[in-house]
Structure 1
Amino acid sequence: MQAKILPPPLKPGDLLRVIAPSGALREFEAFNQSIEIWRSRGYKVEVPATIGDKWGYLAGKDDQRRTQLADAWEDPHCRGILCARGGFGSTRVLEDWHWQAKLSPVQNPKWLIGFSDITALLWSLYNEGVSSVHGPVLTTLAKEPDWSIERFFNLVEGRPLEALKGNGWGGGIATGILLPGNLTVATHLFATPFKPDFDGVILGFEDVSEAPYRIDRMLTQWRLSGALSKVKGIALGNFTGCEPPANVPSFSVEEVLRDRLGDLGIPIVADLPFGHDICNAALPVGALVTLDADQGILAINN
């Protein structure tokens, strides 16, 4: 059980490049506010001229979005890659994508930052042995509370991270490699080359606008596949907008989570502050962490 390689800490003056690997950009005000946060801290942020491109619901055609990622990754002066937003589309970028054909991720690690649909890119980089940031994209960073923004920069600038507090379901304490992501996107990596090995992993799940029966269906797939058999623990974040419509027979999303995960015999902590809309505490993908399901704590082993 070994943590993934952490890119060198960022520092003011570093060059960061923006990419839009997923959905078409719609929230320009929030986007620009988040870029200003980076620039106000002394960073150089390069925004591509094609940032506003649209191809249906995507931020440009696949080759265009793939080229954005490749150019940013291959730029020797670029120290970090900031994803504009989520939505859908990063899995399409991964078609015909090979990290080792670019600059070697292990020999030239750099920060890749995003969440939600960006899960596919974070997990594919995890497979290469490199850590990244499950954290706010450029349409959400400016909306984060002050403590979350400070945590975000503590992570990328190499300072220790405080533990996160949630609600423990019991089951003791586990130490493992943290692999956080969006449940829907992660589930759709099954039967692809980008599905990670979950042996010794502490999974982190969040989601948005998925009805309880859909959460049930996805978690049942995880159970039937055997993917949860070697997982050390599970950290659950925000499941925003996942309650059923009024007057429709249903379980609540919490009831589904407890039913599908509560009998696994591993530590589980719910209601941790990461994911959509409420607050999205930055998490290092591939870091060694301790999950205490008796105290309800997720601690990064800094």
Structure 2
Amino acid sequence: MPAKILPPPLKPGDLLRVIAPSGALREFEAFERSIGIWRSHGYQLKISPQIDDKWGYLAGKDEKRRQQLAAAWQDPDCRGILCTRGGFGSTRILEDWSWSNSALPKWLIGFSDITALLWSLYTEGVSGVHGPVLTTLGDEPDWSIERLFDLVEGRPITPLKGCGWGGGVVSGTLLVGNLTVATHLLGTPILPHLDGVILALEDVTEAPYRIDRMLTQWRLSGALSKVCGIALGGFTRCEAPPTISSFSVEEVLRDRLGDLGIPVVSDLPFGHDSPNAALLVGVEVTLDGDAGILAIAHPH
């Protein structure tokens, strides 16, 4: 298990850099609203001049997106990195990538495709934030927005409540991300060690058979045998077409995860479609499979 380094708490006036490491920016109005939220909290934002580049479905060619990340990570005045959106593409820039050359760890904030960056950074021992990107923050409820700022500014955050499947109480290191992205990290150097991990997963617009296929891969790979608990966020818009015989996504999750003999909590308020409660990658948490609670230790 890597050492856990938390970047210094943010404070109003700090400089944050805005990058597009994954899919091409399309939701410009939502982007501007989210930028406004960060600025209204007193932060200076430096937006990459390539923020609206396009190369197919990507936000510019790999080297350009890699340069955006490097410039932000290596900037000594920058205290945090805000990702524009998910989509696909962050794994491509992790080829030939190193997190070195930054004297001061800084916050990396995003979810969905940003899972790959968060997990890669975690393998270097640095915690990041699984939370709203700059095309979704403006759609979050007030409590979720305030939770994000509480987290990065060093204030305590409240436990999340979901549906407990039983299994008792366990403590471990939280590793949170998107199921599809995480599944495609299996067998790569980006996948962190999973011993003692509480694995938190969410997804969107994946048919139940695809969720089944991914979780079966996790089972067959042996990866799930190492984790000590599972926390499930939203699995939204994951219905099968009404004309096709199918399990529900809830039935698939129960079938593939309910026999592992570890605490499981589902229906936690994080993931695609709001609310997307911010969580820290790589901090100690407690998962209560009976009460259905995920509690994060005060990080600072």
Structure 1 length normalisation: TM-score? 0.97
Mapped pair 1:174 → 2:203: no
Instruction: Report SS of the residue matched to 2:224.
Output: coil
Letter in structure 2 aligned against 1:151: R
Mapped pair 1:122 → 2:108: no
Q: Per the alignment, do residues 176 and 2 of structure 1 end up closer, same or farther by CA in structure 2, a change over 3 Å counting?
A: farther
Which of 212, 215, 219 is equivalent to 1:223? 219
Q: Per the alignment, do residues 196 and 2 of structure 1 end up closer, same or farther by CA in structure 2, a change over 3 Å counting?
A: closer
2:173–2:284 contact (8 Å) kept in structure 1: yes
Instruction: Report SS of the residue matched to 2:192.
Output: coil
| Distance in 2 of aligned mates of 1:3 and 1:291 | 21
1:238–1:278 contact (8 Å) kept in structure 2: no
Matching residue of 1:8? 8
Identity of aligned residues (%): 77
Superposition pairs of residues 1-302 of structure 1, within 5 angstroms: 4-100=4-100, 102-103=101-102, 107-302=103-298
Cα deviations across residues 34-70 of structure 1 (Å, max 9, x unaligned)?
1111111110001111111100000000000000000
1:148–1:282 contact (8 Å) kept in structure 2: yes
Cα deviations across residues 198-240 of structure 1 (Å, max 9, x unaligned)?
0000000000110000000000010011101120100000001
1:10–1:79 contact (8 Å) kept in structure 2: yes
| Distance in 2 of aligned mates of 1:65 and 1:300 | 32
1:3–1:177 contact (8 Å) kept in structure 2: no
Q: What is the aligned residue count?
A: 298
- In the alignment, structure 1 segments of 5+ residues that lack a partner are none
| Distance in 1 of aligned mates of 2:98 and 2:3 | 22
Deviation at 1:81, TM superposition (A): 0.1
Instruction: Report SS of the residue matched to 1:121.
Output: helix
Letter in structure 2 aligned against 1:115: F
Deviation at 1:191, TM superposition (A): 1.6
Cα deviations across residues 58-89 of structure 1 (Å, max 9, x unaligned)?
00000000000000000000000000000000
| Distance in 2 of aligned mates of 1:88 and 1:210 | 15
Deviation at 1:108, TM superposition (A): 1.8
Following TM superposition, the consecutive aligned residue runs of length 4 or more in structure 1 with deviations greater than 4 angstroms are none
Deviation at 1:2, TM superposition (A): 7.2
Instruction: Report SS of the residue matched to 1:113.
Output: strand
The alignment yields a C-alpha RMSD, in angstroms, of: 0.9
Q: Per the alignment, do residues 228 and 6 of structure 1 end up closer, same or farther by CA in structure 2, a change over 3 Å counting?
A: same
Deviation at 1:266, TM superposition (A): 0.2
| Distance in 1 of aligned mates of 2:151 and 2:228 | 24
| Distance in 2 of aligned mates of 1:29 and 1:90 | 23
Letter in structure 2 aligned against 1:248: I
Instruction: Report SS of the residue matched to 1:33.
Output: helix
